[in-house]
Amino acid sequence: MRNSVFWLVIVAVGIAFVVVSRLYLTNEYFYFAGYVVLQYIVLSTAWNILGGYTGYTNFGTGAFFAVGAYSSAVLHKLPQLLHSAFDLTIIPVPLPVMIVVGGLISGLLGLGTGYLTLRLRGVFFAIATLALSIVVQTLIVNWDFVGGSRGIYIIRPAMAPLGGGYIEYLFTLMTALSVLSVGIARSIEGSRLGLGLAAIRDDELAAEASGVPTLRLKLIATTMSGALMGMAGAPLPYYVTYLDPASSFNLAYAVNSVAMPVIGGMTSWIGPVIGAILLGTIQQLATVTISSALNLLIVGVLLILFVIIAPNGIVGLVQGWRRKWDV
């Protein structure tokens, strides 16, 4: 399918999904649970741009996600700050603007991190990204303006744009972000950039010898991946209404964003989407039926099973069956 057609299809699917949800679903819990699944579609797709397409394992999802969330918290407090410091009155910053700003800041963080760490390979790169998460969390814990380790309360605006409640608005925005991230991932996959990233993943020396500017491409991947993760984190303060470092840097974000593409399949855009829907839904069901404490256990068990039984994920499993069928 051509890229432009694919974009049209996923935008149509996204709009239809939101319209049908609004028409037929009245229980707010669906929107709360759906938001989390959609958020994981964005996070796992973003992770896959660097981890799956390029072969660089990033354990710093929490850092990029939280930077997006905290940039929104800062923008939320901005009118109050300007008023008290300069007696300036501005309108509250709209959430879509916060999402763009969160994406820009996290993208810049991705670029900087990439520039400092992309000369490292394999496990050393993974450790560096884990360290990034700890460094950013330490900075936030010691930043009083955003509540430090106590956290910060965020009061949602009284009115939600597009009608309905605020959670429905957040659900709509996260659907739009999912469409955007999946569209970007699919566009990369079939492009010159995607071929270059795959060459880096397969063999970096051979890629360089084939003329691929490996450092530049890896920087593009870290920037795009970081930006999408930041965008996914930007609406978080309005979702949780209380933002603290412990929850926004939660290990679950890093673990899930690695596990979902691994379980779904890392070489195609559909893999992270399948993984996020599957794992995200199971986790939400476990949360209401048993306990949220089981979530990481479920991820761990599934991850071990898939690494042993289907190392190329569900997509790889299906491709294998199709090849056998063809033979």
Partner 1 sequence: MADTLLEVTGLGKRFGGFVALEGIDLTIAKGERLGLIGPNGSGKSTLVNCLCGTLHNESGTVVFAGKPLDGMIAHERTRLGLARSFQLPKPFHSMSLVDNIRVPLLYTVNARPGHHLSDAAIAERCEELLTHVNLADKARRRPRDLTQVEMRKLELARAVATQPTLLFADEAMAGLSHSEIEEIIAVLLRLNEQGITIVLIEHIMTAVMSFSTRLAVLVAGHKIADGLPQEAIRNPEVERAYLGE
Binding site for partner 1 (CB under 8 A): 192, 195-196, 198-199, 201-203, 205-214, 267
Written in H, E and C, the secondary structure of 208-265 is HHCCCCHHHHHHHHHHHHHHHHHHHHCCHHHHHCEECHHHHCCHHHHHHHHHHHHHHC
Least distance to partner 1, CB of residue 54, Å: 12
Least distance to partner 1, CB of residue 207, Å: 7
Least distance to partner 1, CB of residue 29, Å: 41
* Joined tokens for residue 309: 């039984």
The residue among 25 and 198 lying less far from partner 1, judged by its C-beta, is 198
* Joined tokens for residue 190: 């079939």
The residue among 200 and 229 lying less far from partner 1, judged by its C-beta, is 200
Least distance to partner 1, CB of residue 311, Å: 13
- Give CA–CA dist 38/248, Å, rounded: 17
Which of these, 39, 50, 26, 91, lies nearest to 220 by C-alpha position? 50
The residue among 22 and 208 lying less far from partner 1, judged by its C-beta, is 208
DSSP 35-101: HHHHHHHHHHHHHHHHHTSS------HHHHHHHHHHHHHHHHHHHHHHHHHH----PPPPHHHHHHH
The residue among 83 and 216 lying less far from partner 1, judged by its C-beta, is 216
* Joined tokens for residue 17: 């999904």
Backbone angles phi, psi at 242, to 5 degrees: -140, 115
Least distance to partner 1, CB of residue 52, Å: 11
* Joined tokens for residue 167: 């959670």
- Give CA–CA dist 17/175, Å, rounded: 8
Q: Are 297 and 252 in contact (CB under 8 A)?
A: no
The residue among 200 and 232 lying less far from partner 1, judged by its C-beta, is 200
The residue among 23 and 205 lying less far from partner 1, judged by its C-beta, is 205
The residue among 196 and 230 lying less far from partner 1, judged by its C-beta, is 196
Least distance to partner 1, CB of residue 60, Å: 25
Least distance to partner 1, CB of residue 277, Å: 24
Round to the nearest angstrom and report the end-to-end CA distance of the chain: 25
Backbone angles phi, psi at 47, to 5 degrees: -60, -40
Least distance to partner 1, CB of residue 53, Å: 10
The residue among 129 and 214 lying less far from partner 1, judged by its C-beta, is 214
Buried b (16+ CB within 10 A) or exposed e, 272-308: bbbbbbbbbeebbebeeeeeeeebbebbeebbeebee
